[in-house]
Structure 1
Amino acid sequence: MGQQPREQWGTRAGFLMAAIGSAIGLGNIWRFPYVAYENGGGAFLLPYLIAMLTAGIPLLILEYGIGHRYRSSAPLSYRRIRRPAEALGWWQVAICFVVAIYYAVIIAWSIRYTWFSITQAWGNDPDGFFFNDFLQMNPEPGPVSGYVSGVAWPLIGVWLVALTILIIGVRRGIEIINRITIPLLVLLFGIMVIQALTLDGAATGLNAFFTPDWSAMLTGKVWIAAYGHVFFSLSIGFAIMVTYASYLKRKSDLTGSAMVAGFANASFELLAGIGVFAALGFMAAAAGTAVDEVATSGIGLAFVAFPQIISSLPFGGPLFGVLFFACLSIAGVTSLISIVQVIVSAVQDRTGLGRTQTVALVGGATALASILLFPTHEGLHFLDVFDRFINQYGIALAGLVLVVFIAWGVRRLKLFQAHVNAVSSIHLGTWWRVTLGAVTPILLGIMMWDSLRIELTENYEGYPTGFLLAAGWGVAIGAIVFGIIMACFPWKRADAIARDDAARTRDKDDQAPVQLEEPEQVGTEPATDHTPDKEGDH
């Protein structure tokens, strides 16, 4: 039984733009500046850099190696290593589904606020406008009680754009849109930062952001914050990079690509920190308060603090607002596309359906769930709890399981090291195996324990226990259960592919980690290039 030719990125630059587009998301703009500020300011850059070199980039390289070696979605790639590991892949698919359905609505908010910036529709009360007028939020969580049309229609638009790009394909859709939007994002954000630096009080904000508190480096929470942020910001732990790397050509510089993507993401975060704190410095100066009294992160920063800054600007407020919210929208869309592509790729491998049918089926179902749940009076409560629990007990936990499985369960780090070194300009050494075998699992384990300790002693944000059990723990545990159930179903198509591959590669598997021939067909990858492990799914 054969397999349809697999799509390929047109160029390495196209893959890099897509990988960078996935990594640069909403968190780069509204989370990193505040995390750095409250964890030592300028001194935080040291543990951040160490965390990126000892955990972020090594794990990114591992995901590149898995996707590139097995040329498959996450479930099928893990299945080729060990059959039970397919459950991990479907768990990550479920995580992507949950993230996608709430991530899209934040993009919809950003699009509306791009327009609101022109007229400063929030008036003198950005807080009341956002929560009461725009979201029409119910103060208490509960069942859906009504829909908000002002959120629903831009959300529908976001999904139409994302699904159209996905239908067009990896090379002609995802690659091209990222080659356009990522340079545009950097240009627009650069203009916004320059404008922020000209504001009165900008120097005060930058001083607050960069002034190092070296004593903070002696506290464990700062290092945990650094590792935690790097882990989340690089789009690792939920199969995006496994999926994207599966579309690479056989001759692909994996370590070089990981370095470029990692440092490009870090550079954008630093730029975001400069822009955000320059603006917060202006806000503090205008209000006659200290920067620490106006510094915040997340939704409060984007949709309450920044509108207040925009309204306070002596000139250029509408332009500043349009630039800021347009950047949020662009960064969000590129990340959303990468998240949904994980689901599309997995279902394609499982069913053999074409891209259009798969996107219509799974993309449509994801969009429908998003549209039914989040443009509602209770939508923000669902978003807050989903995000908290699927990040802490989905993405981070799945990443921990993946590292432990590869490093200690099947002891495949040397095999992937050989595979990556065969095609990369920068060769991996013992440090790579040490970081993945020891540093990363230990730090992720500490993060898990610390988070669980807090979770079990007090309700997150004071939410009712029943709501947290249903929308928090229920969603996080449900994703794991989904992965186990999906792995239990027979996958005859995958078995046939694996048997064909095994017959071709049984005698040369570990001796030839990778074949370096260029595929004859432009834009696709022959299925015969699969090289499953001897002990894997034969």
Structure 2
Amino acid sequence: MEKKSNHFSGQLGFVLAAAGSAVGVGNLWRFPYLAAKDGGGLFLIIYLILVLTFGFTLLTSDIAIGRRTQKSAIGAYTQMRPKWKFLGILTFLVPVLIMTYYAVIGGWITKYAVVYVTGQAQAAAADDYFTSFISSSTSPVIFALLFMGVTAFIVYNGVEKGIEKVSKWMMPILLVLVVVIAVYSLTLSYTDASGQVHTGWQGFLYYLKPDFKGLTVQRFLQILLDAMSQLFFSLSVSMGIMITYGSYVKPEVNLNKAINQIEIFDTGVAFLAGAMIIPAVYVFSGTEGMGAGPSLMFISLPKVFSAMGKAGTFVGILFFVTAIFATLSSCISVLESITANCMEIFHTGRKKTVLVLSAIYLAVSAVIALGYSIFYVEVKLPNGSVGQLLDIMDYISNSVMMPFIALLSTILIGWIVTPYYVIDEMERSGDKFRRKKLYRVMIRFVAPVMMFILFLQSTGILF
């Protein structure tokens, strides 16, 4: 086995970096929406079960493959089975596409953080503020380039001195901020025009209480697929990131404990994200304000912060700083995955590789940022939605490629190289792989079927 020159200093550094990759903007703007839409506690129960089974299986596979091969996606799959190199190439293309727009979203969040820090919170609550901002031909480009530049600088400094060093202080701060905002959301109360009092605790109970009203087999299946889709994207699996991070893990690190810690951190932040957003939106906007994606973060929440009065500005600052950390940690991992693959393919050094990639993605990010103005297009996607440039890239990478890659990888591991390829690596440090039987059943029988169904649903073929 080839010895990797880059590595994390130990288990803590790896866990925080991997958790940083997993805790992305989807935890903040997609998880709360799905929880509110899909029966509150019912969604949470299903999600937790999937974390312990489906998510555990894919996460374990990626990390173990990375450490065993000491390579990133293309090299790892090639080493496993040369005829399956195409799967490594497909996996490599996912972060290549995601990187085209992730810095743009990071730029949007940074813009709102600046707006709140500079005392313009009321302006951000206006109905047309977000639309006016993203349709501008200058502001979204500037903030996207700024975010891309910071990401590139961290990756440029390497695994231990860049990614790990930043993750060790950024992730604990992110966790503290999420807890603080969640606790504050529970203390909120608002009396509407009819005299009815809405409290944060009511919103929290709405979030936790399983709603079985109108539950049918089809609705249950839809909730299951929503939870699986959220978990799939949240853990950064099937995009090569965890394979790359796994290749940086030292042999003596206990992968069993590390994977458990990553699962706990990611799931904990997702739960707390719901606890800080759902009660706040419920108090001031009811269930009607619980939109998904950008509309939740950039339209609904600024209105909620505005309704809080003077405290809203401070809470807004905390929230968007939290969102910056979550987005930056994920953006770093996406660029690192691309960088690692390119270093292996072209046999180039880190600094030269990052500089070339930075130049490319600075230009591409500018184009995507202008996708709502100069380069505006409307394309009807196979799932029925209409998207612009950013939506097209997101749809291809997340809805089409990632489920397809996960399906193929479960077939490769479960039936061709056999599960023991991963199991042996999990027990390499001498520790017992306690979920070995579960892993074998999931990777061979359950996960392939689930991924096939998710692929059909994500592409609009099913439902």
Common fold: TM-score over 0.5:
yes
- CA shift for structure 1 position 83: 1.1
Matched position secondary structure for 2:123? coil
Residue from 142, 167, 170 that aligns with 2:159: 170
Q: Evaluate the alpha carbon distance shift between residue 196 and residue 432 of structure 1 in structure 2; reply closer, same or farther with a 3 A threshold.
A: same
Aligned residues of 1:122 and 1:130 also touching (Cα < 8 A) = no
- CA shift for structure 1 position 214: 3.5
- CA shift for structure 1 position 373: 2.7
Aligned residues of 1:62 and 1:416 also touching (Cα < 8 A) = yes
Residue from 396, 401, 406 that aligns with 1:394: 401
Match of 1:115, as an amino acid?
V
Q: CA RMSD in A?
A: 2.0
What is aligned with 1:383? 390
Aligned residues of 2:74 and 2:89 also touching (Cα < 8 A) = yes
Q: Evaluate the alpha carbon distance shift between residue 169 and residue 122 of structure 1 in structure 2; reply closer, same or farther with a 3 A threshold.
A: same
Aligned residues of 1:54 and 1:440 also touching (Cα < 8 A) = no
Q: For 1:227-246, what per-residue CA distance to the aligned partner results, in whole angstroms no more than 9, with x for missing partners?
A: 22111111101010000010
In structure 1, runs of 5+ residues without a counterpart are 137-146, 285-290, 458-538
Aligned residues of 2:134 and 2:369 also touching (Cα < 8 A) = no
- CA shift for structure 1 position 17: 0.4
Matched position secondary structure for 2:253? coil
What is aligned with 2:438? 431
Matched position secondary structure for 1:214? coil
Q: Evaluate the alpha carbon distance shift between residue 45 and residue 424 of structure 1 in structure 2; reply closer, same or farther with a 3 A threshold.
A: farther
Structure 2: distance between partners of 1:395 and 1:24: 17
Q: For 1:21-54, what per-residue CA distance to the aligned partner results, in whole angstroms no more than 9, with x for missing partners?
A: 0000101111111112211211222211111111
Q: For 1:328-387, what per-residue CA distance to the aligned partner results, in whole angstroms no more than 9, with x for missing partners?
A: 111101100101111111111112211101111223212321123323415682112321
Structure 1: distance between partners of 2:75 and 2:414: 19
Aligned residues of 2:14 and 2:164 also touching (Cα < 8 A) = yes
Q: Evaluate the alpha carbon distance shift between residue 326 and residue 414 of structure 1 in structure 2; reply closer, same or farther with a 3 A threshold.
A: same
What is aligned with 1:248? 249
Residue from 206, 209, 212 that aligns with 2:207: 209
Q: For 1:459-478, what per-residue CA distance to the aligned partner results, in whole angstroms no more than 9, with x for missing partners?
A: xxxxxxxxxxxxxxxxxxxx
Structure 2: distance between partners of 1:393 and 1:371: 24
What is aligned with 2:58? 59
What is aligned with 1:407? 414
- CA shift for structure 1 position 453: 4.2
Is 2:336 aligned against 1:341? yes
What is aligned with 2:181? 192
Matched position secondary structure for 1:374? helix
Aligned residues of 2:7 and 2:248 also touching (Cα < 8 A) = yes
What is aligned with 1:27? 26
What is aligned with 2:192? none
What is aligned with 1:519? none
Q: For 1:43-71, what per-residue CA distance to the aligned partner results, in whole angstroms no more than 9, with x for missing partners?
A: 22221111111110111111111000010
Q: For 1:58-112, what per-residue CA distance to the aligned partner results, in whole angstroms no more than 9, with x for missing partners?
A: 1111111100001011101110111122221121221101111111111111111
Matched position secondary structure for 1:127? coil
- CA shift for structure 1 position 411: 3.3
Structure 1: distance between partners of 2:3 and 2:208: 52
Aligned residues of 1:189 and 1:327 also touching (Cα < 8 A) = yes
Residue from 126, 134, 137 that aligns with 1:148: 137
Q: How many residues align?
A: 437
Q: For 1:184-208, what per-residue CA distance to the aligned partner results, in whole angstroms no more than 9, with x for missing partners?
A: 1112222222222221021222122
- CA shift for structure 1 position 126: 2.8
Q: Which has the larger radius of gyration?
A: 1
Aligned residues of 2:80 and 2:417 also touching (Cα < 8 A) = no
What is aligned with 1:358? 353
Q: Evaluate the alpha carbon distance shift between residue 385 and residue 81 of structure 1 in structure 2; reply closer, same or farther with a 3 A threshold.
A: same
Is 2:320 aligned against 1:322? no
What is aligned with 1:139? none
Is 2:123 aligned against 1:123? yes
Matched position secondary structure for 2:239? coil
Match of 1:414, as an amino acid?
Y
What is aligned with 2:259? 258
- CA shift for structure 1 position 4: 8.2
